A and B are shown apart, each in its own frame.
Chain A
């Protein structure tokens, strides 16, 4: 399961971390993204894909959404989740993504 989106340390984007860890096969992920005609930069240890927000996908399963709009980050996560078969995000108990 992915924890709720959190603003990253420099406050420039939102990150999603899976607990327990959910390693991502980047080779397979790249193929699935490209099949959806999503531009991908493959740096071997991470992918950078351009969806609604640009997102960095690490092998460890960490996702970083380069947007300061939490709705865009959430929307991008959901699309990524459907393409890559990622675990769901935990249910929100509060009003939205976590800041700080």
Chain B
């Protein structure tokens, strides 16, 4: 079995995806992008509780890296076209996760993405977002619909955690682009110092 890094958000999908990979026997590391002050404390609290449950169930330590993503969001919002906010955000998340993977000796990245649920999950936007990394990306839930994911979440006990009250991410643009191409995205990234921002974010990671 392999060692992988999973992006975990506190939402319904990511703990379900993590559950499937753990069930297969993979060793997993979790990365949570801390979006405060664009959210409240609830996503982190949910992630902590999700992992406590899954650690107990699968008897794995599942280290959690907490990366400060708020400053990145501020820079992106101030400097780039808002329509591409979700794709740009995802690119930063993926590259940060890949740095953590290198640190942890992980050979793949993973996410709870399913196709088409939100703006960042169209094929076009997924392609733009993941072009930023080299490691393979595993999506255990890619063919699931929302109802199926919720059913599994309820069966493993993460649904009630995921649906606790919380503030939605305020960094999501009012009209996010549902399509993008890499040329457009790279042009936006030229407006910011991507590598320094990622270095800064990963350097300030806290392990919980």
Contact = CB atoms under 8 A, between A and B. Distances in A.
A66 B170 CA distance: 11
A33 interface: no
A13 B167 CA distance: 6
A66 B165 contact: no
B42 A43 contact: no
Interface in A14-63: 41-46, 48, 54, 56
Contact of A12 (B73, B74, B77, B165): B165
A48 B38 contact: yes
Question: Is the interface on chain A under 10, 10 to 19, 20 to 34, or 35 or more residues?
Answer: 10 to 19
B167 A45 contact: no
Given A43-B73, A43-B77, A46-B170, A12 B37 contact: no
Contacts of A42: 74, 78
Nearest to B71: A41
A30 B97 CA distance: 34
B39 to A, nearest CB: 8
Interface of B: 37-38, 40, 42, 70, 73-74, 77-78, 82, 165-168, 170-171
Interface of A: 8-13, 41-46, 48, 54, 56, 64, 66, 68
